[in-house]
Amino acid sequence: MKILILNYEYPPLGGGAGIITKHLAEAFANTGHEISVITTWFEGLEELTFSGNLQIIRLKSKRQHIYRSSVLEMFSWIKKSRQFLKYYLKNHSFDVGFVNFAIPGGIVGLFIKKKFNIPFTIISHGHDIPWYCRKEMFWYHLFLYPYIKHICLKSDINFVQQPDMKVNIDKFTGDSMAHKNIIIPNGCDTKLFHPAAEKRNDMFHIVFAGRLVKQKAPFTFLKALVLLKEKNVPFKAHICGDGVLKKKMQKFTHQNKLENDIEYLGWLNRNDLSVIYSTSHVFVQTSIHEAMSIAVMEALSSGTYILCTDVGNNRDLITPGINGELIAFNSPEKLAEQLENYYSDKFLNKYTIDKAAIENFRNKWDWKNIAPRYEKYFYDIIKAQDNP
């Protein structure tokens, strides 16, 4: 197949959605498909790169930050993508479009379908479909509601990662369209994220990773660390990521005299992040909302114990007491208690997750086992296109 992938974020830009796009694009290319990715250019990156069957085209639309994009920047990418594809698709044919997010990607997907008769699918990453993140995205969803619905109804398939997202989009598109809303879970880069328990040192290391925004509830984590220190539990915490709350978090850290206990590492490259995961004892996720967390999956693939809220598919990934625990929302007290319990019961007794359990997880969730699920639906769409 010839697959056109649209995503305004592609590594090193963005977070989980870009990572998902990258691994699926590479998996498709490795099985012989011809893949072209249309994404955003950033300073220091090449506008055009090739690797086997995979071509990355980075368009010079507006983008100020690696880790986030404003609504205006997203619409700048839409404009540039439409302008580029208007001419590019006159000389390059594709069997199917694989579009990330109903908006911005879906607007471009609708364009290629109307203008060039290329069927397109949407992969949602949670917050783009009303009303999955109702509180955080209310005004955005309210303003764009009719446009998002039109795009989802016109797409050939809407992919989501887990059952709650399926229930939400089924309500959104209506029961008559529920058949084209398909669940395919995320995968994990098991080659990069692998266990290295032997490299962990004698200090209790805790890691928090992700965008430093309200959705991730990072202050729940910081307040828990204050309580943990009051309990005289020695630790070193690594905060990986960037975002609008970073300065407030650093101020809080200073006010509570935690500078020697917390290290702000910023937005790390994937290799450095894999080292942090595999050499830390506990990964903490305090999110209010998630689709299906790539960070949790990567930490589990690294053999790191997880303390996470019951969002996305976390409940299905965690075996309590074995590879992690579910934690309460917005409760620093309970999180501090669970961290203290891990320190007393597991860390001091040099606990490690069973190797067989880690390998079972890695084998199940490797991207090479996830990508073929998408390919099956792409073939079905092409077949229907050829035999209307």
Is the pLDDT at 139 greater than 80, yes or no? Answer: no
Residues of the chain with CATH 3.40.50.2000: 2-187+367-386, 197-364
In this structure, what token pair is assigned to residue 309?
Answer: 């809220």
In this structure, what token pair is assigned to residue 119?
Answer: 């069927």
Average pLDDT estimate for 92-98: 97
Q: Across the strands, what pairs with 263? A: 238
Q: Cα 243 to chain center, whole Å?
A: 15
> What pLDDT digit, counting tens, does each position of 15-29 carry?
888 999 999 999 999
Name the residue among 27, 26, 8 with its Cα closest to residue 80: 8
Amino acid at 320: P
Q: What fold, for 197-364?
A: Rossmann fold (3.40.50)
Q: What is the mean pLDDT of the chain?
A: 93
Work out whether the CA dihedral 278, 373, 20, 172 comes out positive or negative: negative
> What pLDDT digit, counting tens, does each position of 224-235 carry?
999 999 999 999
Cis peptide before 131 (omega within 30 of 0): yes
Average pLDDT estimate for 334-356: 95
The percent of residues above 90 in pLDDT, for the chain, comes to 81
- Per-residue confidence (pLDDT) for residue 144, from 0 to 100: 84
Q: Across the strands, what pairs with 158? A: 122, 181
221, 284 contact by CB (below 8 A): yes
Beta-sheet strand order (sheet of 34-40): 48-51, 54-59, 34-40, 2-6, 96-100, 120-123, 157-160, 181-183
Amino acid at 300: L
Is the pLDDT at 287 greater than 90, yes or no? Answer: yes
Is the pLDDT at 282 greater than 90, yes or no? Answer: yes
Average pLDDT estimate for 255-274: 94
- Report the helix count and the strand count for the chain, using DSSP H and E: 13, 14
- Per-residue confidence (pLDDT) for residue 88, from 0 to 100: 97
3-class secondary-structure state, position 190: coil
- Per-residue confidence (pLDDT) for residue 367, from 0 to 100: 93
- Per-residue confidence (pLDDT) for residue 384, from 0 to 100: 87
- What is the rounded distance in angstroms from the CA atom of residue 38 to the CA atom of residue 77? 10
**Residue 325 — pLDDT band, cuts 50, 70, 90?**
very high
The reported pTM is 0.87
Average pLDDT estimate for 184-194: 93
**Residue 388 — pLDDT band, cuts 50, 70, 90?**
low
Is the pLDDT at 107 greater than 80, yes or no? Answer: yes
Question: Does 3.30.413.10 match the CATH number of domain 2-187+367-386?
Answer: no
- What is the rounded distance in angstroms from the CA atom of residue 207 to the CA atom of residue 357? 21
